[in-house]
Amino acid sequence: MSTYSEEYKLFLKKQKQHRWFVRFFQIFVLIFFLGLWQIASSLGWINTFLSSSPWEVVQTTINLATTNELFHHIWITVYETIISFSIAAIFGFLFAALLWWIPTLAKIMDPYLTVFNSLPKVALGPLIIIWVGASINSIIFMALMISFIITIINIYNGFQAINPEYITLMQSFHASKWQIFWKLIFPGNMQTLINSLKINISMSLIGL
C-alpha cells in the first residue's frame, strides 16, 4: 500500500511529464535542424563544399568505418582529449591552489592571467605549429592554451568565494592554512571543481 498522498503523486506525475516534454523538444530541435540543413543543401541554398550535408556526413562515416579508419581517428581524438584535459585539470587546480595560498602571487599574476585568457588562441595556430611542430604535440598544446587558464580562473574564483567568516572561525581555533584549505576550501568547492571539469573538457575539444 502506497504511503504517498494524492498531491505528491500528482507532483511526481507533473515532474515526469515535464521531463518527457523537455526530452521531446530536445530531440525535435535536433531533428528539425538536421532536416533544415539537408533541405538547404539539397536545394542549393548553402554551399555544400563548405558546410556539407547530413547525408554526406553519414556516407563519409560509413566509408571510414568500412575502411577501419573511423575508430583510429576517434581514438586519436580521445587520446588527445584525455592528455590535454588531465594536464589542464591537474596543473590548473594546483596553480589555483598556489594562488589562493599566496595572495601576493595572485595579485601579481592577475593581469597576466586576464591578458592571456583574452588572447585569440585559435588565431595563434600557425605560430604554435612553428613553435611546437606539425604533430600531435601542437594539437595538445593548443587545447592546453584554451583550457588551462580558464581552469585556473574558475577554480581560483571558487576558492575566493568562500565566506571569509568561516576562515576567521577556523583561524580562531588555531587551524593551520593547510587545515583551512583541506577542511574548508577544498570541500566547499566540490561543485565548482565539477563545473570546471565540464568546462575544461569542452574547451579541450575546442582546442583539438
Query: For 163-196, what is each residue's pLDDT tens digit?
Result: 889 989 998 988 888 998 999 898 888 888 888 8
Q: Indicate whether 22 and 57 sit together in one domain.
A: yes
Q: Indicate whether 203 and 110 sit together in one domain.
A: yes
Q: Please, is 166 exposed, middle or buried when counting C-beta atoms within 10 Å of its C-beta (0-12, 13-18, 19+)? A: middle
Whether the per-residue pLDDT at 207 is higher than 90: the answer is no
Does the global pTM surpass 0.75? no
Please give the mean pLDDT across all residues of the chain: 87
Q: Is 46 left (phi over 0), alpha (psi -120 to 50) or beta?
A: beta
Q: Indicate whether 75 and 45 sit together in one domain.
A: no
- DSSP three-state, residue 174: coil
**Which pLDDT band, with edges at 50, 70 and 90, does 1 fall under?**
very low
Q: Indicate whether 34 and 78 sit together in one domain.
A: no
Domain end among 43, 67, 91: 67
Average pLDDT, integer, range 2-6: 67
pLDDT at residue 35, as a whole number? 93
Phi then psi for residue 173, to 5 deg, are -95, 15
Domain end among 46, 67, 88: 67
Phi then psi for residue 68, to 5 deg, are 60, 25
Q: Indicate whether 168 and 203 sit together in one domain.
A: yes
Q: Indicate whether 62 and 72 sit together in one domain.
A: no
How many domains is the chain partitioned into structurally? 2
Q: Indicate whether 51 and 110 sit together in one domain.
A: no
pLDDT at residue 2, as a whole number? 54
- DSSP three-state, residue 43: coil
Q: Indicate whether 207 and 169 sit together in one domain.
A: yes
pLDDT at residue 141, as a whole number? 84
Residues 66-117 have pLDDT tens digits of 888 888 888 888 888 888 888 988 999 999 999 999 999 999 998 998 888 8
Q: Indicate whether 18 and 34 sit together in one domain.
A: yes
* Helix locations, the chain, DSSP H: 6-42, 48-51, 54-66, 70-101, 103-118, 125-132, 136-160, 164-172, 177-180, 190-207
pLDDT at residue 14, as a whole number? 86
Domain end among 10, 35, 67: 67
Residue 33's domain spans which residues? 1-67
- 147: domain CATH number is 1.10.3720.10
Whether the per-residue pLDDT at 7 is higher than 70: the answer is yes
Q: Indicate whether 73 and 166 sit together in one domain.
A: yes
Residues 23-63 have pLDDT tens digits of 999 999 999 999 999 999 888 888 888 888 889 989 988 88
Residues 119-172 have pLDDT tens digits of 877 777 788 888 877 778 888 888 888 888 888 999 999 999 888 899 899 989
Q: Indicate whether 73 and 143 sit together in one domain.
A: yes
Q: Indicate whether 60 and 99 sit together in one domain.
A: no
pLDDT at residue 4, as a whole number? 66
